[in-house]
Amino acid sequence: MSDTLLGVKDLVVEFSTRRGILTAVDKVSFDLERGEVLGLVGESGAGKSITGSAIVGLIDPPGRIAAGTVHLAGQRIDNLPTEKMRHIRGDKIGMVFQDPLSSLNPLYSVAEQLVETILTHKDISKKQARDRAIELLDEVGIPAADLRIDDYPHQFSGGMRQRVVIALALCADPELIIADEPTTALDVSVQSQIVSVLKRMCSEHGASVILITHDMGVIAEAADRVAVLYSGRMAEIGPVRDVIKHPQHPYTKGLMGSIPTITQKGDRLTQIPGSMPRLTDRPPGCAFAPRCEMATSACHQSHPSEENVGTARVACHLITKMGAVA
């Protein structure tokens, strides 16, 4: 238990709009061990990115953290003043975003950005910082790092840029990296490169990772555990292998069946009817009930609580009742 780096408990993020209050994240809880890669997966609008932003305190009005706690290395961080939170973000949390171009300042060379970040966190000379920067670029797999370090972001290709962003995120030796769709904007053949660089770098630098993505393939390659979000709520969380091979929640089952794989037999993909409800008209019971073939009256009436099933934790009435879905 002492090895828990991040503890998120009953996190609720609300957005007040003119149509009332939207609960984008509804009582999401999870722990992140040191050195672990946790995947947050879900469809667009499931609340995965907002969960990530809430952890690092980057929810802008009209959104707000309405309830719950976030602890980083024992310290509660969800209620810190903006200025303090900024320091924590700089020192302990690194971020990698979907679009590498927007995470880098186009007006400064890669060297300037890396050196500046290193110098704000470490008391070393400029020369040492530059050497450290070259070392980092070399580690993330940028060829001829000592020559390319003075290039500007636009001179790098998309994949190389994302490598630079990873190097930048690791500059301050953070304890936690939040990677929000780090491979979505990249080509297929580059995606797996970035996934493996991210995974290797974080384990070498001892950083824990929250990997936010809609792509189960990326999760399968990189994550240790995976949390499946549906309509702002946790559907299922457990070790990647178990969740992918033996999903418990009907949504996870449907999701896994709907992904075409190269070894697939048969013509039709499993399909989940309908689409995720908009946050404005989330059903009163289990959010997945309207699309669930096995839904009972209890599913339509009340929101299921999370129960441990084997290695996973699942929120489903059917499982609580029967132990497991057949």
Partner 1 sequence: MKDVLVNVENLTRIFDVSKPWLNRVIEREEKKTLRAVNDVSLEIRRGETFALVGESGSGKSTIAKMIVGLLGLSQGKIDFDGIDLSQLDGAEMRALRQRYQMIFQDPFASLNPRWRVNKIIAEPLRQFDMESSESDRNRRVEELLELVGMSAKDGVKFPHEFSGGQRQRIAIARALSSNPEFIVCDEPTSALDVSVQAQILNLMRDLQDELGLTYLFISHDLSVVRHMANRIGVLYLGRLVEVADGKELFRNPRHPYTKMLLNAIPDLDMTGRKVAPPDGEIPNPINPPSGCTFHPRCPIATEQCKREIPTIRNSDSGSVVCFEAVRA
The residues of the shown chain that bind partner 1, judged by CB under 8 A, are: 43-44, 157, 159-160, 187-193, 195-196, 214, 216-218, 220-221, 241, 244-245, 254-264, 267-273, 275-276
**Shortest CB 265 distance to partner 1, Å:** 11
Give the residue with the Cβ less far from partner 1, 3 or 187.
187
Q: Judging by beta carbons within 10 Å of its beta carbon (0-12, 13-18, 19+), is residue 82 exposed, middle or buried?
A: exposed
Give the residue with the Cβ less far from partner 1, 75 or 196.
196
- In angstroms, the CA 228 to CA 40 distance is 6
Give the residue with the Cβ less far from partner 1, 31 or 99.
99
Read off the tokens for 111.
């060297």
Give the residue with the Cβ less far from partner 1, 90 or 217.
217
Give the residue with the Cβ less far from partner 1, 40 or 216.
216
Please name which of 270, 297, 275 lies closest in space to residue 286, comparing C-alpha atoms.
297
The residue written with tokens 């000379």 in the block is 125
**Shortest CB 190 distance to partner 1, Å:** 6
**Shortest CB 155 distance to partner 1, Å:** 12
Residue pair 172/90 in contact by the 8 Å Cβ criterion? yes
- In angstroms, the CA 167 to CA 139 distance is 8
- In angstroms, the CA 173 to CA 177 distance is 10
The residue written with tokens 């580690």 in the block is 139
Give the residue with the Cβ less far from partner 1, 160 or 176.
160
- For residue 299, give the H/E element and its range: helix 297-301
3-state SS, one letter per residue, for 76-91:
ECCCCCHHHHHHHHHH
Give the residue with the Cβ less far from partner 1, 112 or 138.
138
